[in-house]
């Protein structure tokens, strides 16, 4: 089916767009890595699929209320 149909089905069944679902999943994985490893923030950003550490930090702060470094 089409991209628009896929997006509509995701919104209907999960209540979230595929893009938002993927971003949430990446941020949750990054949070687990911050809790369980001593990896640098830039490495975690790269490993979880973010284009830059700055973008990752901004999204992390918006989602969790704190920067990855402070977390």
For residue 24, what pLDDT is reported? Answer: 96
For residue 71, what pLDDT is reported? Answer: 86
How far apart CA 60 and CA 22 sit, in angstroms, is 14
Tokens of 32: 């687990």
Tens digit of each residue's pLDDT, the chain (71 residues): 899 999 999 999 999 999 999 999 999 999 999 999 999 999 999 999 999 999 999 999 999 999 999 98
For residue 57, what pLDDT is reported? Answer: 96
For residue 21, what pLDDT is reported? Answer: 94
For residue 16, what pLDDT is reported? Answer: 94
Q: Are 29 and 48 in contact (CB under 8 A)?
A: yes
Q: Are 1 and 39 in contact (CB under 8 A)?
A: no
Name, in order, each residue with C-beta under 8 angstroms of 42's C-beta and a sequence gap of 6 or more: 53
Tokens of 36: 């369980």
């Amino acid at each position: 089916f089409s991209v628009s149909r896929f997006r509509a089905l995701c919104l209907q069944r999960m209540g979230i767009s595929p893009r938002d679902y993927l971003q949430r999943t990446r941020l949750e994985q990054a949070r687990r890595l911050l809790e369980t490893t001593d990896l640098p923030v830039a490495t975690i950003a790269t490993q979880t699929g973010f284009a830059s550490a700055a973008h990752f930090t901004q999204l992390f702060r918006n989602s969790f209320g704190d920067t990855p470094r402070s977390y």
